[in-house]
Structure 1
Amino acid sequence: MTLTNVLVGAAIAIGLVGIVVPVLPGSLLVGGAVLAWAIVHDAPAAWVVFAVAATFLVAGTVVKFLVPGRRLQTAGVPSSTLWFGAALGIVGFFVVPVVGLFLGFPLGVYLAEYRRLGPERAWPATKGALRAVGLSILIELVAAVLAALTWGVGLVLV
């Protein structure tokens, strides 16, 4: 096993963790690692592996925005609520490192919906927003795992 393969594998693993704990741009890291591997190996099979992995990542990115976004529209949660939640999540990240993101986002969504809908309907809307975000993370993670598995197959073939 070459140092390149070890470094690419580590970058892919960090990218997968970055998807679940949104601190790093996980999909970009996975795609960049597979691209670097294809450049180093510069074989037709390596470029096919990169193309398949990139297709998984691009498709996952598109689907992760379309499916949860549609569910949020159906639930009546406006995008301004999500932006407010994201802003409070970012503030929370710096106030309480790492954990603050997970505290700030739901709090921001709840406060925005509390102001918009009142106390009785704010919590169900917040749960809907959290489910949509969870679904988005799951979709991106599945796409990145498929890209990583494609790279694993490429390791055997190239």
Structure 2
Amino acid sequence: MTSTTVTGVLMLVGLIGIVVPVLPGLFLVWLATGIWAYDHPASSAWVVFVVATVIYAGGLVTQYVIPGRRMRRAGVRTPTLLLAVLLAVVGFFVVPVVGALFGFVLGIYLIELTRQRDRRTAWDSTRHALRAVALSIGIELGAGFAIVLVWVVGLWRLGSGT
């Protein structure tokens, strides 16, 4: 298998890993670009990797900053999210893959219900957190597709290098 094929497969697995959070998806997409640049004979392949690194770093920062601000404005506190993530991990092992989502949602709802003592307010907080998670995944997926696009343009301009 050539490094171009390995890169393409890793990128596909990475993009799937963003949507199905079992693997570090964006990291895999970025890493695949680095493997391709390392193996490519043209030194300008590293330019592709540097651009991918900038996109990766921007995606990492943005995927936490923007949803975090929105959740703070909605009144969802950081400890609530941390406990919900813990319940998501437990849920993942109890019911593989889908248990993580159920554990996260249930965790936020129960914690907010305990904190605010109002079902409607707890559900509103849960909805805000779910929207923030969806936004975070969307940002990460956008960054992943941008890295793939940069790689495809680099591949088109530089060739496969084999």
After superposition, the C-alpha distances for 1:14-40 in whole angstroms (9 at most, x for unaligned) are 001111111100111111110010000
Counterpart CA distance in 1 for 2:67 and 2:120 is 23
Counterpart for residue 39 of structure 2: 40
Whether 2:55 is the aligned partner of 1:66: answer: no
Whether 2:152 is the aligned partner of 1:152: answer: yes
Query: 1:123 is matched by which residue type in structure 2?
Result: W
Quote the offset at 1:84 in angstroms: 1.1
1:1-158 counterparts in 2 under 5 A? Answer: 3-118=2-117, 119-158=119-158
Quote the offset at 1:42 in angstroms: 4.1
Percent of aligned pairs with the same amino acid: 48
Query: 2:142 is matched by which residue type in structure 1?
Result: V
Q: Can you give the 5+ residue segments of structure 2 that lack an aligned partner in the other structure?
A: none
Alignment root-mean-square deviation, CA: 1.0
TM-score computed with the length of structure 1 as normaliser: 0.96
TM-score computed with the length of structure 2 as normaliser: 0.94
Q: Can you give the 5+ residue segments of structure 1 that lack an aligned partner in the other structure?
A: none
Query: 2:131 is matched by which residue type in structure 1?
Result: R
Query: 2:130 is matched by which residue type in structure 1?
Result: L
Secondary structure of 1:24's match? coil
Counterpart CA distance in 2 for 1:24 and 1:100 is 16
Counterpart CA distance in 1 for 2:54 and 2:123 is 37
After superposition, the C-alpha distances for 1:72-102 in whole angstroms (9 at most, x for unaligned) are 1100100111111111110010000111011
More helix by share: 1
- Would you say how many aligned residue pairs link Structure 1 and Structure 2? 157
Quote the offset at 1:157 in angstroms: 1.1
Q: 1:140 to 1:47 in 2, by over 3 A?
A: same
Quote the offset at 1:4 in angstroms: 1.2
After superposition, the C-alpha distances for 1:118-158 in whole angstroms (9 at most, x for unaligned) are 22210000000000011011001101100011001111111
